Structures are given as C-alpha cells and as structure tokens.
C-alpha cells in the first residue's frame, strides 16, 4: 500500500454509508487493542468554534512541553491535516501503517458478517491507533458531527469534555430545535467527567445542565465577565481575562474575529481546569507563546493584501452572523466582492441574509461534491438584494472573476463551504507568494 492507495481505501469506504450507533466503531477499536483507553483525551463538541478551541488547547499544551495529538475534521487541503502532533501533520508512512492495520481488522469484521464501518469510523480508528502508537501525552479530539452517535464518542473515559457554541447546523441529523441539537452535543458528557460549557441560548443550556446532572458530571461554565479587550486589528487581537484565581494578562492571538476571543477564553478555561486537577503544569509564558503561534486556516484568514482577500469557512447562519460582525467592525465602509459556494443541506436562505447586505457584488460557484448547491439556486436567493451577480461554476474561475471585478482598494471574501474554501486556499497559494505561517 502506498499513500495514494491508503487515501483511496479510506475515501472508498464512503459507499458503506452511516449507521446509527457506536457498535461498529467499538468493535473495530476492540480489535485494535482499544487504543482510546490508553490515551488522555480532551473531547470537544459544538456547532461553531470547536476547531479553534481544539487548536488553541493543542497549541497551549504543546508550548508547555507536552506531546499533544490533535484530531480535527474536515480538512482543507490535505487529508494529513486531520491528525497532527505538536503542529506536525501525520506522515505518509504513519498513515499507511495505521490504515493497513485498520483495514486488516475491518476485513475480519466483514468475514464474520459484521457491518463494514463508515468512512468517519475508519478515519477515527486510524487516528486513535496512530496517536496511541505515538504515545502522545494528551489527545485533543474534535467531534465530527453531533456527539451522541459520533464515532469519537466511543471514547468512554475522557479526562475532560468541552461543548462550544451551539447553533443550527446539520438539522436533518441532529434535530430542528436548539434543545434537540444540544441533546446530541451533550451526548459526549460522561459519568463523573467535568464538562466545560460555552454560554448557550437558554434552551440549549438547560438541556446540557440536565444531562450533566444525570451523569453526575461537574459543569464548568465559561465566564466572560472579566474580559478586557486590549486591542483588535486585522492582524492580531489582545485581551486579558481572569479565570478562577488566575489572571491571564495580555494574551495575543492571530485568530481574527471577536468570537475567537471567546473561543480563546473557552480554551483557557479548559487549560485552567486541567491544571487545577493536576493533569498539567504550565507557565503563563508558555500559554502566551502557544496561543500566539496558533493558526486555524480558513477562518477569517487573510491570503492577499491587494485587494484584501479573506477566506472564511462560515457555513451556517450563526457563523455568517459572526463573519458579518467582524467585517462591519474592521471594514465598515469596504466595497466587498463575495465569492460564495454552498452545500444544499445548509440553511442557505438564513446564511445569505446575514452577509448579503454587506456585498457590493457576488460571484457564485459550486464546491466539489454531490451535496453542492447549484449557483443558479443561490442566484435566486440573492436577486432581491439588487446587486450584480456573476456565475462561475468552477472555483478557480470564480476567484479569477472576483479579482477582475475588484479593485486593489476593495475586498474579496470567499465563504460558504469548507470544501470550497479548501480548494480556494490551494488555488490562491499556488498563484501567489503565500506560505503557511
């Protein structure tokens, strides 16, 4: 098996679909020697912010000297992004090794008449096997979808659970009300395991509190009351906050958008709890260094200066609102060309209502994949705004069109789907001097 064959095998398991429940993944992990039981896991669910919170915790603990695994999804440009240790992506060799091992165990399952695991179950098993083989000190494990029946929830004994901001997304799977969605996210709460909770809408918080009580899980709400914003620009943000009895002064992050400050405080709350429980020790300097170095590509990321070109993976109404607020704060009078590509299973109408009023013109495109919305469908939703609309079905041509329509003093924002953002990021990096920082 070479690297491409490993990827082909992983992605080829998509055809086996999804099956509700954790029976399959638990069977597979048992055959692998239960790698999840040998890891200290920080398990993170939520609608928005879970990737940023995961990345910040990973960065903070890495800077403190620990060997820290990070499992996230989806990826933007390369599959290897999904599994990292101290910021270094899994090597092709290690991915091949773990994929072959998982493939052999799945073959055993199939020969015994068991269901073939889904693609995400396969990826989760590969990741857990890899991190166990690498003997990481901690694993920051991001939920793929929901929580209760997500493959990552085969982890029975995390040292900490975290629930970030909950909003409307994947409603066809998780439910169409906040309390239903919160119930699925709260599925990661385990018996007697502390859970850090980002401030939620009332119905979501009540649901989480009920589940925490049932599981006898200490609930630790994130508190923003001591936040002092020291500076915010299109390059960095600086803030101070007190968590418990610990003051965190002048924390600098390169993640942009006011919501990233709230995500940072969520991550700090988790780190402070891990320290209080004796799991970790760290200095203020290490946390400052780790947070300053943390990057989360595709989230209000500036890729060019002239014209100012921003990519943002916002793909639900709540994230679109946060994007709109950030644009209004930092670029209040800008003429903006939006390049939009979305998936059909999103709340497209509500998403566009948040950002469309800020646009001077729109270029509509189509992300790769069977769930992509046709540009003409998006066009119908935007006609009422009376702005110029252009259609370029392929992402590279849509980007070229946006540059042709936009002067150097104006702004381009690419948004709507992480699939589209990943393709756009690759194209922009290959056609300019941009490198990962």
CA dihedral 231, 236, 237, 243 (to 10 degrees): -140
Q: How large is the C-alpha radius of gyration of the chain?
A: 21
Identify the bridge partners of residue 172 per DSSP, sorted by sequence position.
none
Strand residue runs (E) in 168-300: 195-197, 219-221, 228-232, 237-243, 246-253
Question: What is the per-residue pLDDT for 41?
Answer: 98
Q: Decide if 173 contacts 145 (C-beta within 8 A).
A: yes
Distance CA 159, CA 274 (A): 8
Question: What is the per-residue pLDDT for 170?
Answer: 58
- Count the helices and strands in the chain (H runs, E runs): 15, 17
Question: What is the per-residue pLDDT for 169?
Answer: 67
Distance CA 207, CA 195 (A): 13
Q: Decide if 400 contacts 373 (C-beta within 8 A).
A: no
Is the overall model pTM greater than 0.75, yes or no? Answer: yes
At 250, phi and psi to the nearest 5?
A: 50, 55
Q: What superfamily would CATH give domain 3-293?
A: Mur-like, catalytic domain (3.40.1190.10)
> According to DSSP H, which parts of 43-162 are helical?
50-63, 92-111, 119-133
Q: Reduce the DSSP state of residue 151 to 3 states and report it.
A: helix
Provide the residue ranges of all domains of the chain, joining segments of one domain with +. 3-293, 301-430
Closest residue by Cα to residue 152 from 287, 68, 35, 265: 35
Quick one: which H or E segment has residue 139?
Answer: strand 138-142
Q: Decide if 395 contacts 423 (C-beta within 8 A).
A: yes
Interior/surface letters 119-151, b for 16+ CB within 10 angstroms, e for the rest: bbbbbbbbbbbbbbeeebbbbbbbbbbbbbbbb
Quick one: which H or E segment has residue 352?
Answer: helix 348-355
Question: What is the per-residue pLDDT for 171?
Answer: 56
Strand pairing class (68-71; 138-142):
parallel
pLDDT tens per residue, the chain (437 residues)? Answer: 999 999 999 999 988 877 789 999 999 999 999 999 999 999 999 998 999 999 999 999 999 999 999 999 889 999 999 999 999 999 999 999 999 999 999 999 999 999 999 999 999 999 999 999 999 999 999 999 889 999 999 999 999 999 999 987 655 557 678 899 999 999 999 999 999 999 999 999 999 999 999 999 999 999 999 999 999 999 999 999 999 999 999 999 999 988 999 999 999 999 999 999 999 999 999 999 999 999 989 989 999 999 999 999 888 898 999 999 999 999 999 999 999 999 988 889 999 999 999 999 999 999 987 789 999 999 999 999 999 999 999 999 999 999 999 999 999 999 988 889 999 999 998 886 544 44
Question: What is the per-residue pLDDT for 436?
Answer: 46
Question: What is the per-residue pLDDT for 437?
Answer: 40
Helix axes 258-276, 317-330, angle to 10 degrees: 110
Interior/surface letters 378-413, b for 16+ CB within 10 angstroms, e for the rest: beebbeeeeeebbbbeebbebbebbbebbeeebbbb
Q: Decide if 418 contacts 76 (C-beta within 8 A).
A: yes
Q: What superfamily would CATH give domain 301-430?
A: Mur ligase, C-terminal domain (3.90.190.20)
Distance CA 319, CA 259 (A): 9
Question: What is the per-residue pLDDT for 329?
Answer: 93
Distance CA 397, CA 114 (A): 45
């Amino acid at each position: 098996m070479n690297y491409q064959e490993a990827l082909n095998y992983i992605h080829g398991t998509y055809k086996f679909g999804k099956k509700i429940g954790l029976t399959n993944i638990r069977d597979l992990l048992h055959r692998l020697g239960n790698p999840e039981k040998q890891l200290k896991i920080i398990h993170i669910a939520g609608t928005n912010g879970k990737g940023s919170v995961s990345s910040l915790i990973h960065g903070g603990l890495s800077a403190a000297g620990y060997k820290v695994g990070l499992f996230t999804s989806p990826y933007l440009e390369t599959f290897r992004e999904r599994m990292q240790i101290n910021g270094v992506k899994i090597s092709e060799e290690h991915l091949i090794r773990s994929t072959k091992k998982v493939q052999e165990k799945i073959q055993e399952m199939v020969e015994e008449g068991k269901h073939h695991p889904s693609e995400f179950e396969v990826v989760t098993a590969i990741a857990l096997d890899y991190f166990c083989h690498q003997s990481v000190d901690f694993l920051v494990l991001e939920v793929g979808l929901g929580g209760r029946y997500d493959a990552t929830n085969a982890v029975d004994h995390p040292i900490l659970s975290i629930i970030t901001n909950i909003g409307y997304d994947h409603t066809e799977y998780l439910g169409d009300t906040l309390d239903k969605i919160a119930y699925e996210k709260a599925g990661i709460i385990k018996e007697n395991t502390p859970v850090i909770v980002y401030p939620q809408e009332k119905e979501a918080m009540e649901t989480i509190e009920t589940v925490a009580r049932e599981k006898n899980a200490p609930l630790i709400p994130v508190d923003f009351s001591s936040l002092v914003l020291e500076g915010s620009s299109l390059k960095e943000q600086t803030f101070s906050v007190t968590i418990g009895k610990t003051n965190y002064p002048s924390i600098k992050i390169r993640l942009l958008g006011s919501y990233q400050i709230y995500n940072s405080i969520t991550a700090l709350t988790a780190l402070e709890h891990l320290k209080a429980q004796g799991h970790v020790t760290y200095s203020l300097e290490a946390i400052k260094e780790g947070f300053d170095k943390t990057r989360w590509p595709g989230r209000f990321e500036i890729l060019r200066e002239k014209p100012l070109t921003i990519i943002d993976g916002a793909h639900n109404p709540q994230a679109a609102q946060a994007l709109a607020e950030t644009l209004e704060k930092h670029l209040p009078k800008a003429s903006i060309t939006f390049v939009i590509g979305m998936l059909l299973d999103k709340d497209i109408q509500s998403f566009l209502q948040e950002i469309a009023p800020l646009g001077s013109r729109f270029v509509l495109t189509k992300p790769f994949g069977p769930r992509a919305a046709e540009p003409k469908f998006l066009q119908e939703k935007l006609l009422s705004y009376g702005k110029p609309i252009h259609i370029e079905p392929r992402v590279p041509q849509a980007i070229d069109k946006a540059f042709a329509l936009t002067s150097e003093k104006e702004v381009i924002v690419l948004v709507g789907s992480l699939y589209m953002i990943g393709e756009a990021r690759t194209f922009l990096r290959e056609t300019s001097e941009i490198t990962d920082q």
